[in-house]
Structure 1
Amino acid sequence: MSSFVIYDLETTGLYPDSDDFIQIAAVRYHDGRVIAEDEFFSFARPRRRISSFIESYTGIGNHHVVGAPSPEEVMCAFSAWVGDSTLIAHNGLRFDSKFLAATSDRCGRATREVSCIDSIHISKMLFGKTRGTGHSLDVVKARLGLAESTLRRHDARGDVDILARAVAAMQQKLQLDTSLTGVPRHPSKLPWVK
């Protein structure tokens, strides 16, 4: 049976080469259910100050990341925690996986390839390739009738909570096996750690 890690990043901007992630949250997902007691969370201290726009969007300010480890240090710890699990992120192909790869390249270590699933692909399998409304996490949550998270939206912990429940609901509705067979995968990379 396959082991998955559902994760989310909050970042200082849209460009992985010049921006950094400032928060990461993840939970393990195994056999069609979330393993809530096995989670990963960290703030990360970016290379530059967090803008007022990002602070208002995410609720994460410079005071949250003072004393936090660097994104590269967090990425090494995350890589060790992930192990050989397949990663799942919403819009991961276009966004999160690129931040993983760019940060991993800055770690000064060899990297390893990891398998990733973009949950937008699962949404498209279930709801079709609709025009107009799209497949944002908020749209998917509404289509599935999921309750709001008790955590803030655009906080990595809140987004992972919603995404994990969405993946479980979509897997059940599509009657996908526990390996999520048939869902496209894409590669990304993480730093090699022992």
Structure 2
Amino acid sequence: MKRAVLFDTETTGLEPLKGDRVIEIAALELVGDLPTGRQFHVLIDPERDVPAEATRVHGFSRADLDGKPKFAEVFEEFLEFIADDDLIAHNARFDFGFLNAELARVDRPPLAETRMIDTLDLARERFPGMPNSLDALCRRYNIDLSARTTHNALLDCQLLADVYVELMGGRQHGLGLGVESGEAPSARYVGPESRRPVLIRPDAEVLAAHDAFVISMPEPVWKT
């Protein structure tokens, strides 16, 4: 089965080319689009301050990162974990931009964008005109968000893994009649006795966004 790596980063801000740095990397191994249980996770000393507005997003202050390894000390292990496989992220261009800026600082080549799978793009194709943040997708697929009080990279990866399965058609899309030798246990077919259909009820925000999208179309048939 095909291997891919789903990952997320947290940072000191939004501008990698203006001095903002990565402070957290989390990555999960997927085989056949399902998590195997293998993961990579590290907190990183950004070698600069962490603005209060960034701390409000991810919960990490400068003091939390004191004594953590620098990017130059962990990137080899990260590159070994991701190998040459596809890289999945939500709003992946943001994460690629930060990781490539960090790799440039240690004189390493950038991650090729040909490896990029952006779940935000996938969601926009499936749900045009609707909110497609990670939170919105979790609510749409009835995925538990109760633990997500801040944008922790590891938790976001775990939530995104569940969202990605749904975007790719649900666990049944890779079903088989048996488990081949050496197949990851988590990649086994989940039968109907353990998987129930999810009834999706759009909220007012989703309905309003859909109406706005339909109205923007020339002569929409839905309004005739």
TM above 0.5, one fold? yes
> SS at the partner of 1:28?
strand
Deviates more, 1:110-119 or 1:9-18: 110-119
- Structure ranking higher on relative contact order (CA contacts 8 Å, 6+ apart): 1
Unaligned runs of 5+ in 1: 179-194
Alignment check: 8 A CA contact 2:11 2:20 kept: yes
For 1:110 and 1:52, locate their aligned partners in 2 and report how far apart those are by CA, in whole Å. 32
Q: 1:148 aligns with which of 145, 150, 162?
A: 145
Q: Which has the larger radius of gyration?
A: 2
User: Contact (CA 8 Å) 1:149, 1:158: kept in 2 or not?
Assistant: no
Identity across the alignment (%): 29
Instruction: Give the conservation status (yes or no) of the 8 Å contact 1:88–1:118.
Output: yes
Deviations 1:122-164 (A, max 9, x none): 212322x21xx43111111111111126354301011111101
For residue 102 of structure 1, what is the amino acid of its counterpart?
Answer: A
Residue matched to 2:56: 56
Structure that is richer in strand per residue? 1
Unaligned 5+ runs, structure 2: 176-224
- Aligned-residue offset at 1:72: 3.3
More helix by share: 2
Report if the CA contact (8 A) 1:149-1:161 is conserved.
no
Greater shift in the superposed pair: 58-67 or 145-154: 145-154
Q: Secondary structure at the match of 1:25?
A: strand
Secondary structure of the corresponding residue to residue 148 of structure 1: coil
Structure 1 CA distance, aligned partners of 2:124 and 2:110? 31
TM-score by length of 1: 0.80
What is the distance in 2 between the residues matched to 1:77 and 1:58? 23
- CA RMSD in angstroms, aligned pairs only: 2.2
Normalised by the length of structure 2, the TM-score is: 0.70
From 157, 161, 174, give the equivalent of 1:164: 161
Q: Which amino acid aligns with 1:22?
A: I
Q: CA deviation at 1:166?
A: 0.3
Asked if residue 107 in structure 1 is aligned to residue 106 in structure 2, the reply is: yes
Residues 20, 71 of structure 1: 8 Å contact kept? no
